[in-house]
Amino acid sequence: MKKIDEYQGKKVLVMGFGISGINAAHLLVKLGANVTANDKATPKNNDIVDDLEADGIKVITGDNPISLANEGFDVVVKNPGIPYDNPLVAAFVKQGTPIITEAELGWQIFDGHLVSVTGSNGKTTTTTLTQLMIAENAKHQVKYAGNIRISFSKIAEDLGPDDTLVTELSSFQLLGAPTIHPHIAIITNIFSNHLDYHKTRENYINAKLNITRNQTKDDFLVINWDRDEWQKIAQRSQATIVPFSRLNKSHEGSYVEDGMIYWRGQEVMPTKDIRLIGPQNVENALAAIAAAKLSGVTNDAIKKVLTTFSGVRHRLQYVMEYQERLFYNDSKSTDIEATEVALQGFDRPVILLAGGLDRGYTFERLVPYFKKHVKAMIVFGECKDKMKDAGNQAGVPVVESENAITAVPEAWKLSEPGDVILLSPANASWDQFPSFEVRGDKFIEAVEELTGKKEQ
């Protein structure tokens, strides 16, 4: 941990009692700040408040009182999910109070080698693969943190100048990280996500590009080269561009040719040996390979990781095989693009479990994928009728169910040996579950109950 005096004697407000907010509050006390912690909700667990108060932190819960804007705070550390049009946040913006996220605080105290990953899809898998690859050859600590429920600043406290930290960073975090400077930055892809928060696609892209804002030609931006738009976006960085591509050969980075992965013209391994399924995971592997090779990782270490890693939980995660059926948990697929990609990963018939929060859009885009990959569908949630319409257009049998749990035995009834039973909802979970993680966990529990086996 780097010793800094920037917060000594400063008055700091921490907004939000998530994992990152709580860790930030305690860290700021160590850095000499006078800390107030505020959350709009009242925590059900009193231990959270007790621990904060025991550290000398003033705690305010149950509201974001606008009066806090008049208390002379020098800095606000905001939970990334709190929008900037929140009245209290907007008041701080209007008066010019610096507003940062916990990722910025983590960067300020970090004293090692930083690799950072952002993008619309594939962030967590790419972050995990990169960390595992670099760790295979490392003589010092290699950790990961960030937008994966592991606090950047908490991990950074325990790392030294020779250690490496691989961080997943969301657009929300990057908006409040003005000085962050990774030596290697990765952009997996950019679609049109979170426009309710960012308002426009350009705002969303600009937030993502904060990952490379402070990079120089001595740093590296690893970026997906499979769309013209992303190639143009790369031109806005001052870093040395390292492309990765599943579709376009480029000797400047990692790419696929005739079923073989190459790094700058040298063979690394066949794509068929990657344990993770699907074209999206080939792309995630290519991004991680580029970062790993830039970090001096050997091909043997890369092969070891890619031939053994079976997936991040809820992200096209292999659950088990039972009576010649394969179960996969892709609860993280909360948008149409993610489900498109998931379906393309299978060359077996798929029983698809899909549905969830109705965000107002329809699913005609999925019809060609249903026709090609899906044998039957179980639909649920607020948007089940719209999902059913798309299934009918594709000529796929559709069964309605209450939720992702009750859908499991329904899918089993429709399945035969050789089939895949896939939860890939194409929608957020909030109509029925508090998060995609809970939805995925409940799906796995239902599979375990059906089969009498534990996930593998």
Looking at residue 204, what is its pLDDT?
95
Q: Are 326 and 453 in contact (CB under 8 A)?
A: no
β partners of residue 350 = 374, 420
First-to-last CA distance in the chain? 37
What are phi and psi for residue 145, nearest 5 degrees? -165, -175
Looking at residue 341, what is its pLDDT?
87
266-270 β-sheet, strand order: 142-146, 164-168, 113-118, 184-187, 220-224, 240-245, 254-257, 260-263, 266-270
Looking at residue 443, what is its pLDDT?
98
Q: Are 389 and 299 in contact (CB under 8 A)?
A: no
Q: What residues have CB less than 8 Å from 133, skipping those under 6 apart? A: 288, 289, 291, 292, 295, 297, 301, 302, 305
The two three-digit tokens of residue 410, written as one number:
């329904």
What are phi and psi for residue 313, nearest 5 degrees? -55, 135
Looking at residue 456, what is its pLDDT?
76
Q: Are 383 and 356 in contact (CB under 8 A)?
A: yes
pTM of the model: 0.84
What structural domains and CATH numbers belong to the chain?
A: 11-100 (3.40.50.720), 103-308 (3.40.1190.10), 317-451 (3.90.190.20)
Q: What is the mean pLDDT of each run of 10 residues along the chain (456 residues)?
A: 95 95 97 98 88 97 97 97 96 98 97 97 94 95 90 95 97 97 97 83 95 98 96 97 94 95 97 91 97 98 95 89 96 92 92 95 96 98 97 97 98 97 97 96 97 90
DSSP 8-state secondary structure symbol assigned to residue 42: P
Q: Are 288 and 129 in contact (CB under 8 A)?
A: yes
